[in-house]
Structure 1
Amino acid sequence: MTIQADFWQLVGLLGAFVASLGAIGVLLLKQIQSGLDERFTQLAGRLDGIEQVNRDETIQWQRVEREFLKFQADLPMRYVMRDDYIRGQTTIEAKLDAIAMRVENSQLRAAYKPGGGS
């Protein structure tokens, strides 16, 4: 069995083969492109989410910063230094000691008075 083909028939077959390879290539490229488009869409969504989280975090840090600055402004009004506390406590104790001494002296005077005492 012999197969005979003319030159133009072979050129036609070769052209059809190249055209079918081209069509398959175009289909593959379209699938790759659609896959890439889908991935880029997903990445864009993720980036939008990250940007929103970043904005929220920035707002929270600004709130913390404001609260800290308020705290720093209120601190001198509310905080008593250790030295100031010791000084105030020493003054109170000195006054209490003076009162105790007067009470003790008056008790001693009352005890040594002639005719007075228990």
Structure 2
Amino acid sequence: MTNIQIELWQLITLLITLLLAFFGAVAAAGKMLLDQTGRSLDERFTKLQDQLDEIQEANREEAKQWKRVERELMELKAELPQRFVMREDYVRGQSVVEAKLDGLAVRIENLQLRTAARGD
């Protein structure tokens, strides 16, 4: 049987070396984990930023469409009085025309009666 003798300072050095190696491995694993987490967060933020950009572009397009609709509505409002007549205005105008026609009919009838009265 062989006896292995280790002095105290060699044992302390070996323990310190093992502890340093262990803590170094833990620190390296922690750094790798933090790097992966950082990359994952960067990817998520990039995706979110892309989605926000798409939403903003969609909002801009929607705003343009609403402005176009508002402009067309204003054009329609300006055009309506020129193209269409309200019912009351039409009835009033029609009444005037009918009154004039009635007056003309009375004159023609009076003229016919005078002509008939002279011819008898």
By the TM > 0.5 criterion, same fold? yes
2:19 maps to 1:9: no
- In the TM superposition, what is the alpha-carbon distance from 1:99 to its structure 2 partner? 6.2
Q: Which has the higher contact order (CA 8 A, sep 6+)?
A: 1
Distance 1:93 1:11 in 2: 119
Alignment of 1:36-75 (within 5 A): 36-75=41-80
Q: 1:86 aligns with which of 69, 91, 95?
A: 91
**Residue ranges of structure 1 left out of the alignment (5+ in a row):** none
Q: Which residue of 1 aligns with 2:26?
A: 21
Q: Deviations over 1:58-111 (max 9, x none)?
A: 1111111111111121122123122211112222333455566666xx6xxx8x
Q: Give the TM-score taking structure 2 as reference length.
A: 0.72
2:36 aligned partner: 31
Q: What CA RMSD, in Å, does the superposition of the two structures yield over aligned residues?
A: 2.7
Aligned length: 107
What is the rounded CA distance, in whole Å, between the counterparts of 1:72 and 1:84 in structure 2? 18
AA partner of residue 77 (structure 1): Q
Provide, for residues 1-55 of structure 1, a one-character-per-residue CA deviation record: whole Å limited to 9, x for no partner.
xxx7711211111111100000000010011011111111111111111111111
